[in-house]
Amino acid sequence: MTEQPRFLADAMLARLARWLRVLNFDTRHDPSIHDPELVQMADREDRWLLTRDRALVKELRPSKAVLITRDDPLRQLTEVVEQCELDKPERLFLRCLVCNTPLREATDREIRDRLPPSAENYPDTRLYCPHCQRLYWPGSHTQRMTRTLARALPDWFDR
């Protein structure tokens, strides 16, 4: 398997970062980081810098950058998919949408402590973020997000 591209999203692009995490791409996003540091971090960690700031790209010259031009997060996602030539991941929702940590299977205790009763109809594996202690499970919210993705990236989902 080839190594997956990684990303660093600038302060304006929180929702884009979330969508990239849905697709399992390692995507850092920290609005407190200032421009020069952002570029250094992207270069040091070999990440694509995702930014809406044309001047930043021109003046600070990150080695890999995607200049985002659209306003809608899903259209922004399409820009990244096209420019970085991303392939569709085999599975979705394997990374914490909030903190970017890879999820692991939840233990029985974690499920007992955190699963709301409405989620018990879904027998699939529950995943857990060891960093921020969130529990994730497939349900109507993931189905809705998957449908939204399919509309944004029809080439990926039609086959």
Residues engaged in binding Zn ion (CB under 5 A): 96, 98-99, 101, 129, 131-132
- Look up tokens 């791409």; give the residue: 25
Q: How far is the CB of 156 from Zn ion (least distance, A)?
A: 25
Q: How far is the CB of 17 from Zn ion (least distance, A)?
A: 13
| Residue closer to Zn ion, measured from CB, 47 or 95 | 95
Q: Which residue is nearest to Zn ion (CB)?
A: 96
Find the helix or strand (DSSP H, E) in which 142 lies: helix 140-152
Q: Measured between alpha carbons, how far is 136 from 97 in angstroms, rounded to an integer?
A: 10
Nearest to 13 by CA among 47, 61, 46: 47
| Residue closer to Zn ion, measured from CB, 132 or 150 | 132
Nearest to 156 by CA among 70, 82, 100: 82
Q: Measured between alpha carbons, how far is 43 from 38 in angstroms, rounded to an integer?
A: 9
| Residue closer to Zn ion, measured from CB, 38 or 97 | 97
Q: Measured between alpha carbons, how far is 108 from 103 in angstroms, rounded to an integer?
A: 15
| Residue closer to Zn ion, measured from CB, 28 or 52 | 28
Q: How far is the CB of 97 from Zn ion (least distance, A)?
A: 8
Q: How far is the CB of 12 from Zn ion (least distance, A)?
A: 22
Cβ burial of 118 (10 Å; 0-12, 13-18, 19+) is: exposed
Q: How far is the CB of 70 from Zn ion (least distance, A)?
A: 27
| Residue closer to Zn ion, measured from CB, 20 or 68 | 20
